[in-house]
A and B are shown apart, each in its own frame.
Chain A
Amino acid sequence: MTDPSDTSLGDTPPEGTHDQDYNFAYLDEQTKRMIRRALLKGLAIPGYQVPFASREMPMPYGWGTGGVQVTSACLVPDDCIKVIDQGADDTTNAVSIRKFFERTAGVRTTEKTGEASLIQTRHRIPETPLEEGQILVYQVPIPEPLRFLEPRETETRKMHALEEYGLMHVKLYEDISSHGHISTAYAYPVSVEERYVMDPSPIPKFDNPKMHQCPAVQLFGAGREQRIYALPPYTDVVSLDFEDHPFTRLRNDGVCGLCGADDTYLDEVIMDDEGTRMFVCSDTDYCATRIEEAAE
């Protein structure tokens, strides 16, 4: 995102590079401005959920409409975008969203994490560390970390406003007392700058530490729930835990069967009906790059 208040963004895309039936990156400029205002507010109050008038998008709610709207509001013609779902560039929904922006914005696309100026993701943070100047856009299904403890929006907003987060720890307490572990494996709640408790979207808790002090801008869009929130670069993001039951990352302790990495998040692939399994990196770009480098 260059200067989000610069409303001329996207007004004059290079002609012929995107579908001329639609405005650059699909949304009209008025809507983009509204979303940029929400993004700015979110960046100013890290972890706070900003209500925004989410639009109907030409893809279903729950399939990344929040992320798509945020991306649309951030894109400029010389952006280069990467879209991943489950860490992979080639999963169907990632392909579909990438095609959408190819068509409506005519921007360059890439599978390389390092080359992308904007990455839209569902459920993962890339293994390659992000850098300053990059934007990571998360697709968020349920932005409210307290939702499953307290279904009422009026009540949860009050709890955030008054920093009443005891209930969140009651949930973690219950996990430990019944399982011996905190049994939240993904969408693991975090505390942002010691103020707002935030849902990191359903990334595995393995990815949680990557949010802390990240040099890139992290933007979260929940289309159906009409919420945007954000983490500016170098924000403190701490996973909730107890002093005597500290947060731990969780991964299968195997190595990737393709590239041999032993520190990445692995997908389990079932090879036959006899129970043979293989583990491979969920981040396909990271894995492929390692294989290429090994071949050189």
Chain B
Amino acid sequence: MNPIFSVRDITKFYGNQKGCEGVSFDLYPGEVLGIVGESGSGKSTLLNVISGQLEPDQGDVLFDTRHAGMVSTTAMAEPERRMLARTDWAYVHQNPRDGLRMAVSAGGNIGERLMNIGARHYGDIRETASGWMGRVELDTGRIDDRPSTFSGGMQQRLQIARNLVTGPRLIFMDEPTGGLDLSVQARLLDLLRNLVRELGLAVIIVTHDLAVVRMLAHRVMVMQRGQVVESGLADQVLDDPQHPYSQLLVSSILQV
């Protein structure tokens, strides 16, 4: 099987401050990769670079496009990259406010990506939106309500529906359970796990929360000071960490 996404030797500096350095990995269809580390470890910088929001100083990011196979996304023209961002890719923000239009109804939020790629039948758009609300366990009766009237957990589920509606093949997630209560987190993780499995999605999930990684990820990369210090199968790394920093991270979660 060929990778769907390939990251090669990505380096990003801010002035003379290191963001991340020399990061490489491949991601296969249906695979969930967790990137863990404390704040300042470079994991968010890495996510921003590989999702096309920041330009790398060095290295390349390749994506298996539907039409042309493996293509460098860093060399892509902006229109193509923006097209990719609203079709085959999706990005789930930590704060749902960053990923939703708060002044637009739930149905409109889900429908936007469809309308972006040319959907022009109101009834169909609405039906699809309603179907997705059901899939993420939102009350379809609230399709015309604005997200500001939703709880944090509901907003996050709405953001996920909005992202998945166009059938993307690769999803970037930035601390998707960040601001949520523990019980809400568990429900969201459960939902995510099922969706990912059902739809065969490739996912890159950045988090400081090892519980999230244990629940969702097949593989894990541990980052410290901008570099990958350990990577491997999720269970392996979490149960038997080799690098002292990984050991520290794992032991700190056990104390909780």
A residues neighboring B (CB under 8 Å): 161-162, 164, 166-167, 169-170, 173-174, 176-178, 242-245
**CB under 8 Å from chain A, chain B span 92-129:** 101, 104-105, 107-108, 111-113, 115-117, 120-123, 125-126
Q: Are B108 and A177 in contact (CB under 8 A)?
A: yes
Given contacts A170-B104, A173-B107, A178-B144, contact A245 B122 (CB under 8 A): yes
Among A161, A166, A242, which residue has its beta carbon within 8 angstroms of that of B116? A166
Q: Are A173 and B117 in contact (CB under 8 A)?
A: no
A243 vs B121: C-alpha distance when bound (angstroms): 5
Q: Are B120 and A169 in contact (CB under 8 A)?
A: yes
A245 vs B104: C-alpha distance when bound (angstroms): 19
Q: Are A176 and B116 in contact (CB under 8 A)?
A: no
**Closest beta carbon of chain B to A34's beta carbon, Å:** 30
**Closest beta carbon of chain B to A194's beta carbon, Å:** 12
Among B79, B108, B123, which residue has its beta carbon within 8 angstroms of that of A174? B108
Residues of chain A within 8 A (CB-CB) of B143 are 177
Apart from A167-B112, A178-B144, list 6 A-B contacts with CB within 8 A: A161-B79, A162-B78, A166-B86, A170-B104, A173-B125, A244-B121
Q: Are B121 and A170 in contact (CB under 8 A)?
A: no
Q: Are A166 and B122 in contact (CB under 8 A)?
A: no
Given contacts A162-B79, A178-B144, contact A173 B116 (CB under 8 A): no
**CB under 8 Å from chain A, chain B span 48-85:** 78-79, 82
Residues of chain A within 8 A (CB-CB) of B108 are 170, 173-174, 177
Q: Are A244 and B123 in contact (CB under 8 A)?
A: yes
Of the listed residues B78, B79, B108, the one surrounded by the most CB atoms of chain A closer than 10 A to its CB is: B108
Query: Is chain B's binding surface mostly helix, strand, loop or mixed?
Result: helix
Q: Are A243 and B104 in contact (CB under 8 A)?
A: no
A138 vs B140: C-alpha distance when bound (angstroms): 45
Given contacts A177-B105, A243-B120, contact A169 B82 (CB under 8 A): no
Which 4 pairs show the lowest CB-CB distances between chains A and B? A166-B116, A242-B122, A169-B115, A166-B115
**CB under 8 Å from chain A, chain B span 153-205:** none
Residues of chain A within 8 A (CB-CB) of B111 are 170, 173
A150 vs B74: C-alpha distance when bound (angstroms): 27
**Closest beta carbon of chain A to B143's beta carbon, Å:** 8
Residues of chain A within 8 A (CB-CB) of B79 are 161-162
Given contacts A162-B79, A162-B82, A166-B117, contact A176 B112 (CB under 8 A): no
Q: Are B126 and A177 in contact (CB under 8 A)?
A: yes
